Amino acid sequence: MNFAGKTVVVIGGTSGINRGIAEAFASAGAKLAVASRSQDKVDDTVAALKTAGATEAVGLTFDVRDPDAVADGLAQINAALGEFDVLVSGAAGNFPALTAEMSVNAFKTVIDIDLMGTVHVMKGAYPFLKRPGASIINISAPQSWLPYEGQAHVCAAKAGVDQITRTLALEWGVEGIRVNSVVPGFIEGTEGAKRLAPSPDAEKKFKADVPLGRWGQPEDVANACLFLGSDMASYISGTVLSVDGALYQRGSGQAGRMIGQMLRSMSGGKS
Residues that bind ligand NAP (CB under 6 A): 12, 14-18, 36-38, 41, 63-65, 90-93, 113, 139, 141, 184, 186-187, 190-193
Residues near ligand HXC (CB under 6 A): 92-95, 97, 102-103, 105-106, 109, 141-142, 154, 186, 191-193, 195-196
Q: How far is the CB of 121 from ligand NAP (least distance, A)?
A: 9
- For residue 257, the partner it binds in ligand HXC, ligand NAP, none, with Cβ less than 5 to 8 A by kind, is none
The Cα 226–Cα 37 span in angstroms is 25
The single-letter code of the amino acid at 110 is: V
> Which C-beta is closer to ligand NAP: that of 135 or that of 144?
144
Residue 77 CB neighbours (<10 A):
25
Of the pair 94, 237, the CB lying nearest ligand HXC is at: 94
Indicate the burial class of 116 (C-beta count within 10 angstroms; 0-12, 13-18, 19 or more). middle
103 binds, among ligand NAP, ligand HXC, none (CB under 5 to 8 A by kind): ligand HXC
Residue 89 touches which of ligand HXC, ligand NAP, none (CB < 5 to 8 A by kind)? Answer: none
Smallest distance from ligand HXC to CB 85, Å: 26
How far apart, in Å, are the Cα atoms of 18 and each of 22, 49, 73, 87, 144? 6, 12, 18, 12, 18
SS3 17: helix
- Give the one entry of ligand HXC, ligand NAP, none that residue 28 binds, where binding means its C-beta sits below a cut-off of 5 to 8 angstroms depending on kind: none
Closest of 221, 226, 223 to residue 242, by C-alpha: 221
Shortest Å, Cβ 23 to ligand NAP: 13
Q: DSSP E strands: which ranges in 175-214? A: 178-184
Alpha helices in 104-197 (DSSP H): 104-110, 117-125, 152-173, 191-196
Query: Which of ligand NAP, ligand HXC, none does residue 107 bind (CB under 5 to 8 Å by kind)?
Result: none
90 binds, among ligand NAP, ligand HXC, none (CB under 5 to 8 A by kind): ligand NAP
Sorted by sequence, the CB contacts under 8 Å of residue 267 that are 6+ apart come out as 98, 101
Q: In whole angstroms, how close is the CB of 103 to ligand HXC at the nearest point?
A: 3
Shortest reach from residue 182's CB to ligand NAP, in Å: 9
Minimum Å gap between C-beta 95 and ligand HXC is: 3
Residue closer to ligand HXC (CB basis): 106 or 232:
106
- Distances 241 to 61, 118, 162, 169 between C-alpha atoms, Å: 29, 17, 10, 14
